[in-house]
């Protein structure tokens, strides 16, 4: 007879809330199809808020593992849960009033909640099985969300591309964890770490497994050269979904990467650290340079987000307390900027009823000064200008690099952020092009107030976080400690 593992339901409450909320919405969808009127969104936001509430209330309880040690609930998990919930709420605000949201809002929200649950789960993973389950849970939800705009070819293409390439990434990850299982006899992070520390890191099977796991997760994070899906998927997906992906997926995938590399495979540091350095350099420079030549705004932001992913690899390479703290703060800082920037794009798309390009935004800033100015601030944040939270993020990341003698890597990061100012400038010049002032179109659209609210919220987070980041840094330090002390 199989012994069922004990389950600490209270510890799992944040994740369970999202899953239950999602099922309730799916059920509800059958009754209110086409007559949603924002009910789906309301329930979705409430669910995210409750999930975050559970996580915050459990902040001070000691770390524990449950589900036969497959899941670890510590401050890192709680922190990620709160962040994902925040991303979800902002995404719902951006999506409100969008055509498809009016038609099938409940289904949309249900999928979003499910994706959030998957992200929380992967961030809590303590075993390769959990990594895979969490990964598939949020990936499959996102495949559907990307293709949600069924009348748009671009959206369907985006969903399909993401499905195919995302699956390749998942398969490689599974393959790698199978090798590691073969070498160590366990999926469990702690057991793998113990076995590897004892046996040494020379085994070909282990090295192959490590590399494959790294490649698989790199697909999800979207670092070069595994980034091919990112621009196409980001461009085609509904813009609110793009914002969610660039913020929340990044948080989940990076935390999973940190858990796997720092919890399960610290013994293999000599294998993965050099590989990550190469990936980081290629990604930072390649991403920002590619962003320079784009004319489609979403594609441009997609490449910018690739560049940011390269930047996020630096603290993992550096490791240690300051490295993981920097990683978590950077991810948290990046999220409101990304969601905000895509929210502005979403607003623009509703205004011009088409695709946002450098041509279509010409002079748009004079019609929507607040949104356009917010866009400038988000972009300044990407580039790491002072008084935005992006600057503090960059400050802690570069700080960790300088502190641990990775100065040259920090110099590469600096060069890439100088390059990134180029596309910032292109967008500013286009938005506030005086010669195109009169041609700015302004169509009356529904639900704009909610998008504006999302933009303003993101703006407030970016600015307040930029001036008074102390609390956030403390949080990141606590959460990082649970990662480093986990073993």
Partner 1 sequence: MITTSTLIAVPAVASIIILLVPFARRAAGYLALLVSLAVLGGVIGFIYRFEPIAGYQFADNVAWITPLGIRWHVAMNGVSLAMVAITALIIACVIGFAMWAGRDRSHVSFALILMTEAFLILVFTARDLFAFYVGFEGMLIPLLVLLAIWGGAGRRFATLQVIAYTALGTLLMLLGILYLGLTAPGGPNFDMALAIGRGNDWVFFAFAIAMAIKSPLFPLHGWVMPAYRESSPEIAAVLSGVASKAGGFAFLAILVPLFPAQAAHYAWIFITLGAIGFLWASFIAFRQPDSRGVVAYSSIAQMSLVVLGIFLLSDRGATGATFQMVNHALVSAALFLIAGWLETQAGSGSFKSLGGLARSRPVLATVTMIVGMAALAVPGSSVFASEFLILLGAFEHQWWLGVIVSIGIVLAAMYMLRWVSAILHEREGALVGTFNPPDLRKGALLAILPLVLVLIGLSIAPAQFTDRINDSTRSLIVAATQESGK
Contacts to partner 1 by CB under 8 A:
369, 373, 376, 380, 383-387, 392, 395-396, 398-399, 402-403, 407, 410-411, 414-415, 417-418, 421-422, 425, 428-429, 432, 434, 468-470, 473-474, 477
By C-beta, is 276 or 476 nearer to partner 1?
476
Q: How many alpha carbons lie under 13 Å from residue 447 in its C-beta half-sphere?
A: 22
* Count of helices and strands (H, E) across the chain: 20, 2
The string of DSSP codes covering 143-182 is: HHHHT--TT-HHHHHHHHHHHHHHHHHHHHHHHHHHHHHH
Q: Determine how many CB atoms are found less than 10 A away from the CB of residue 209.
A: 26
**Residue for token digits 């339901």?**
9
Q: Which two tokens stand for residue 155?
A: 């959206």
By C-beta, is 108 or 406 nearer to partner 1?
406
Q: At what angle do helices 389-403 and 470-485 cross, to 10 degrees?
A: 40
By C-beta, is 64 or 407 nearer to partner 1?
407
- Report the distance separating Cα 113 and Cα 109, nearest Å: 6
By C-beta, is 7 or 467 nearer to partner 1?
467
As measured in angstroms, the least distance from the Cβ of 419 to partner 1 is 9
Q: Which two tokens stand for residue 44?
A: 């979705």
Q: Are 256 and 131 in contact (CB under 8 A)?
A: yes
By C-beta, is 161 or 325 nearer to partner 1?
325
Give which of 173, 175, 196, 188 is closest to 70, Cα–Cα: 188
Q: Establish whether the linkage from the previous residue to 407 is cis, with ω within 30° of 0.
A: no
Q: Determine how many CB atoms are found less than 10 A away from the CB of residue 31.
A: 8
188: left (phi over 0), alpha (psi -120 to 50) or beta: beta
By C-beta, is 5 or 369 nearer to partner 1?
369
By C-beta, is 102 or 437 nearer to partner 1?
437
As measured in angstroms, the least distance from the Cβ of 117 to partner 1 is 31
As measured in angstroms, the least distance from the Cβ of 425 to partner 1 is 6
By C-beta, is 135 or 372 nearer to partner 1?
372
By C-beta, is 111 or 473 nearer to partner 1?
473
As measured in angstroms, the least distance from the Cβ of 62 to partner 1 is 22
Give which of 276, 220, 218, 216 is closest to 246, Cα–Cα: 220
By C-beta, is 398 or 484 nearer to partner 1?
398
Q: How many alpha carbons lie under 13 Å from residue 419 in its C-beta half-sphere?
A: 22
**Residue for token digits 């961030």?**
123
What SS3 state is found at 318? helix
By C-beta, is 177 or 322 nearer to partner 1?
322
As measured in angstroms, the least distance from the Cβ of 362 to partner 1 is 13
Q: How many alpha carbons lie under 13 Å from residue 461 in its C-beta half-sphere?
A: 22
Q: Is the dihedral of CA 215, 479, 412, 246 positive or negative?
A: positive
As measured in angstroms, the least distance from the Cβ of 433 to partner 1 is 9
As measured in angstroms, the least distance from the Cβ of 376 to partner 1 is 7
Q: Are 288 and 419 in contact (CB under 8 A)?
A: yes
As measured in angstroms, the least distance from the Cβ of 455 to partner 1 is 14
As measured in angstroms, the least distance from the Cβ of 318 to partner 1 is 12
What SS3 state is found at 227? coil
As measured in angstroms, the least distance from the Cβ of 150 to partner 1 is 40
284, β-bridge pairs: none
By C-beta, is 345 or 380 nearer to partner 1?
380
As measured in angstroms, the least distance from the Cβ of 76 to partner 1 is 17
Q: Which two tokens stand for residue 379?
A: 């972009």
**Residue for token digits 């603290």?**
315
- Report the distance separating Cα 208 and Cα 186, nearest Å: 16
As measured in angstroms, the least distance from the Cβ of 372 to partner 1 is 11
């Amino acid at each position: 007879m199989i012994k069922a593992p004990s389950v600490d339901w209270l510890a799992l409450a944040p994740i369970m809330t999202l899953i239950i909320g999602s099922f309730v919405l799916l059920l509800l969808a059958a009754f209110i199809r086409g007559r949603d009127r924002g009910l789906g969104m309301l329930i979705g936001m409430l669910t995210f808020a409750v999930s975050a509430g559970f996580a915050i209330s459990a902040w001070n309880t000691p770390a524990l593992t449950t589900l036969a040690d497959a899941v670890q609930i510590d401050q890192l998990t709680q922190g990620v849960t709160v962040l994902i919930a925040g991303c979800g709420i902002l995404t719902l605000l951006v999506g409100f009033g969008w055509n498809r949201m009016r038609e099938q809002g409940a289904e949309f929200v249900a999928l979003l909640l499910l994706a959030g649950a998957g992200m929380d789960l992967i961030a809590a993973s303590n075993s390769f099985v959990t990594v895979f389950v969490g990964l598939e849970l949020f990936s499959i939800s996102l495949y559907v969300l990307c293709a949600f705009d069924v009348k748009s070819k671009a959206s369907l293409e985006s969903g399909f591309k993401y499905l195919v390439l995302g699956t390749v990434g998942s398969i490689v990850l599974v393959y790698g964890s199978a090798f590691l299982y073969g070498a160590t006899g366990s999926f469990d992070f702690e057991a793998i770490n113990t076995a590897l520390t004892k046996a040494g890191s020379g085994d070909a099977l282990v090295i192959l497994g490590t590399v494959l796991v790294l490649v698989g997760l790199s697909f999800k994070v979207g670092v070069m050269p595994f980034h091919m899906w990112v621009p196409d998927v980001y461009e085609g997906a509904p813009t609110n979904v793009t914002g969610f992906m660039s913020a929340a997926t990044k948080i989940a995938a990076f935390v999973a990467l940190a858990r796997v590399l720092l919890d399960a495979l610290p013994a293999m540091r000599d294998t993965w650290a050099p590989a990550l350095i190469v990936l980081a350099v290629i990604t930072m420079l390649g991403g920002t340079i590619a962003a320079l030549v784009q004319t489609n705004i979403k594609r441009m932001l997609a490449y910018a987000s690739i560049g940011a992913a390269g930047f996020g690899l630096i603290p993992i390479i550096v490791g240690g307390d300051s490295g993981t703290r920097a990683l978590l703060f950077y991810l948290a800082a990046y999220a409101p900027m990304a969601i905000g920037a895509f929210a502005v794009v979403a607003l623009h798309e509703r205004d011009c009823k088409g695709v946002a390009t450098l041509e279509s935004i010409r002079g748009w800033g004079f019609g929507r000064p607040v949104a356009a100015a917010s866009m400038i601030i988000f972009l300044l944040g990407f580039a790491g200008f002072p008084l935005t939270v992006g600057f503090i993020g960059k400050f802690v990341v570069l700080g960790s690099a300088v502190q641990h003698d990775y100065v040259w890597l920090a110099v590469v990061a600096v060069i890439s952020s100088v390059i990134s100012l180029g596309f910032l400038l292109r967008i500013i010049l286009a938005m506030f092009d005086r010669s195109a002032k009169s041609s700015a179109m302004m169509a009356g659209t529904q639900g704009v107030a909610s998008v504006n609210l999302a933009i303003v919220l993101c703006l407030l987070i970016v600015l307040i976080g930029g001036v008074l980041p102390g609390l956030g840094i403390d949080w990141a330090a606590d959460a990082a400690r649970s990662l480093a002390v986990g073993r």
